[in-house]
Amino acid sequence: MRAAAGALAALGACGDPEGARFPPAPGQLAIVSEGDAAQPDIFLISAAGGNATNLTRHLAFDGGPAWSPDGRRIAFESVRDGNDEIYVMNADGSGVVRLTTDTVLDAQPAWAPDGSRIAFVSRREGNHDIYLVDTGGANVVRLTTEVSAEVQPAWSPDGGKIAFVTDRDGNGEIYVMDADGSNPLNLTRHAAGDLTPAWSPDGSRIAFMSDRDGDFAIYVMNQDGSNVVRLTDSDVPDELPTWSPDGRYIAFDDGNDIWVMRSDGSELRNITNTPFRIDNTPRWRPAMPAATDRIGSRSR
Ligand SMILES: [Ca+2]
Ligand SMILES: [Ca+2]
Ligand SMILES: [Ca+2]
Ligand SMILES: [Ca+2]
C-alpha cells in the first residue's frame, strides 16, 4: 500500500490513500489503458475518476497521447500500420490522420503551444532523435544530431524551449534546448535516471521522474534545474507526471493506476483503482473555453 507522501505525512494525515475525502480535481485526462482484447487504447477519463471512454478502439497498440493546446485534438503513436507512427485524432476519437510514413520508430508526440507543429522521436536517421513536423505532416526538421538517444520532448508553455531526455552523458538526464535545437543544457546532472519532463503551466517548474532515491518517484525542480523536491514516496515506481491546466495538481501513474495529487504532493488519490486493468501515461487536457466546448463533457 502506498504511503502518503511529504507534506501530507508531515501534517499527520494518515491512511485513506484512495482520497474519497479530497475535493475532486478539475478537468479530464487522456490515459493509456487496456482496451478490447487487452490491446492498449487511449481513453478519456475525468480527473475526479469514474468510467473511462475508449477513444481509439483499435486492436493494435495505441499510446503516447499528446493534447493540442486548444484541447480539441490528440496526437498519439500507434503500430496499426506495421510500425510506430504518429497520428492525430479529434478528442472524441474521430478523424484519425497519419502524420509519418517511415519504416522505423516514430513516437512520443508533443504538440507545440502555438498549435502549428508537433515534436516527436524518430529513429529514421539511425538512432533516437527529436524531430518537428507540421500538424499536416509536412516539413520534418531534425533538432538533435548526437549519436546518443534523445527522447521524450516537452515544450515550454511559451513555445521557446523543448525539454527532453538524453543518455549522452551516460545516464538519463533532462536537458532543455531552444526550439530550433540550439543551446542544449543539462538540467539534472545526476548519476541516476532522470526522465519524462513536464513543464508547469506557468513555465516556472519542471516535474519529472527519477530513481535517485531508490525506485522511481515524482520530483519537481525549477526550470533552471535548481531546488529539486521529491513529491512521492511509495514501494512501486511512480512515473510520467502531468500538470493540471491550473497548475494546482499533478497526475502520474504507478504502472497500473493513475494517481492525482496536489502539486506539493499532498491529497494523493487513486482515480482509476482498477486492479485487473493496466492504466498509465496520463496527460491532462488543456483548459478549454466553456462557451466553445463542444467535445465531450467537462467535469465540474
Ligand atoms: Ca489499441
Ligand atoms: Ca514509423
Ligand atoms: Ca540521437
Ligand atoms: Ca541523471
Q: What's 278's domain CATH number?
A: 2.120.10.30
Residue 53 lies in a domain: yes
How remote is the CA of residue 172 from the centroid of ligand 3, in Å? Answer: 13
User: What is the grid cell recorded at 75?
Assistant: 496526437
Cα-to-centroid distance, 140 and ligand 3 (Å)? 16
Show Cβ contacts of residue 69 under 8 Å, excluding neighbours closer than 6 positions: 111, 112, 113, 114, 115, 286
| Nearest ligand for residue 145 CA | 3
Question: Distance, CA 32 to ligand 2 centroid (Å)?
Answer: 20
- Residuewise pLDDT in 10s, the chain (300 residues): 454 444 333 333 334 445 467 999 999 999 999 876 678 999 999 999 999 999 999 999 999 999 999 999 999 999 999 999 999 999 999 999 999 999 999 999 999 999 999 999 999 999 999 999 999 999 999 999 999 999 999 999 999 999 999 999 999 999 999 999 999 999 999 999 999 999 999 999 999 999 999 999 999 999 999 999 999 999 999 999 999 999 999 999 999 999 999 999 999 999 998 888 899 999 999 987 665 444 544 443
Domain that holds residue 190: 6-285
Tell me, letter by letter, the H, E, C secondary structure of 250-269. Answer: EEEECCCCEEEEECCCCCCE
- Cα torsion through 220, 105, 278, 19, rounded to 10: 20
Which residues are within 5 Å of ligand 1 (an ion), measured at CB? 39, 41, 58, 62
Residue 207 lies in a domain: yes
In a domain, 70, yes or no: yes
Residue 296 falls inside a structural domain: no
181: number of Cβ within 10 Å? 18
Global pTM value? 0.90
Q: Distance, CA 239 to ligand 2 centroid (Å)?
A: 25
Ligand nearest to the CA of 146: 3
Looking at the CA of 40, name the nearest ligand. 1
Instruction: Give the whole-angstrom CA distance, residue 300 versus residue 74.
Output: 22
Closest ligand (CA of 126): 3
Helix (H, G, I), strand (E, B) or coil at 44: strand
Q: Within a domain: residue 1?
A: no
Q: Judge whether 129 lies within some domain.
A: yes
pLDDT value of position 46? 97
Domain assignment present for residue 297? The answer is no
CA of 10 to the centre of ligand 4 (A): 28
Instruction: List, in sequence order, every residue forming a beta bridge with 62; answer none if it has no partner.
Output: 78
- Whether residue 294 is contained in a domain is answered as no
Instruction: Give all strands of the β-sheet with 173-178 in edge-to-edge order.
Output: 150-155, 161-166, 173-178, 185-186
**pLDDT computed for residue 14 by the predictor:** 38
